[in-house]
Amino acid sequence: MSATAFLFPGQASQAVGMGKDLSEDFPLARQVFEEADDTVGFPLSAVCFDGPMEELSKTSVTQPAVFVHSVVCARLLMGLGVKPVIVAGHSLGEYSALVAAGVLDFSVALRLVRFRGELMEVAGAKRPGAMAAILGVEDQDVVDLCAADEGVVVAANFNAPGQIVISGEIDAVARIGSAAAAAGAKRVVDLPVSGAFHSQLMEPAAQQLAERLGETTFAAPSAPVVTNAGAAAESDPERLRSLLIEQMTAPVRWTDSVKAVIAAEVDGACEVGPGTVLKGLVRRIDRNLDVRPVGTSQDIAAIAAE
């Protein structure tokens, strides 16, 4: 692939066993996982490789786990000469994208991701919230339903046409889910999350994260970064910082983000990290963009053999 985009997954892409094959087959991968363990101060790699799923599913563990796996895959790809011309990440994946583009240092970003996960977990415990995916309803119709409700509930993820995630107070999310079903939604799926991410309920977490991000060095990117909040290619470090702060309470504009990646005239994309969630979403957005999953030793070996 000559002009390649790197797309990085977010929370909910985790699975027990993630990265174990990479660590066994590639010294570079093993080195990154060991550095991650030292940085976070607990055996993150052991939880990734062996579980249990209950531990891996905690927001404060999931986020660094997915992030580290994604960075490992990106480094292995770049070691094979596959360099991105543009990068984007879904929610948490934006941190992986910023590391791949050289904006953030790996260990600095990992500490941020760990802190972010802890903040979101605490915010969810203090003000319990929920998220639900709504399939088969026009985006604007869901936005209108949320606006008409008296509770705190918003459209949080514009994942693909006809696939939107709502976030907010538990009762409000349930009401909108019922209203969407009555309006003809094909499915309403409650998501297994610890809080109302990308909503106003994350404001306390956003304020604390903003302080930390304000003290963090952001370098100029080696490739443009399409941000969740802006859904446009950005190369200014200060703009990337402010949009990353905004990301905590702003919606993930993934449909528009993918369109911005396509506008960069890429030949294809790699889903860099665990799972194939983004490949499925991109297929719903624009079938012409081929997305190649790169999350296992087998995937890396196939690229190396080309």
Would you please indicate which residues are annotated as catalytic (active-site) residues? 91, 198
Angle at 81 between CA 77 and CA 82, to 5 degrees: 55
Q: How far apart are CA 229 and CA 244, in angstroms?
A: 8
What CA–CA distance (Å, rounded) separates 277 from 281?
Answer: 6
3-state SS, one letter per residue, for 9-76: CCCCCCCCCCCHHHHHHCHHHHHHHHHHHHHHCCCHHHHHHHCCHHHHCCHHHHHHHHHHHHHHHHHH
Q: Please tell me the distance from the alpha carbon of residue 2 to that of residue 19, in angstroms, as a whole number.
A: 26
Strands 4-8 and 84-89: parallel
In this structure, what token pair is assigned to residue 201? Answer: 């309920």
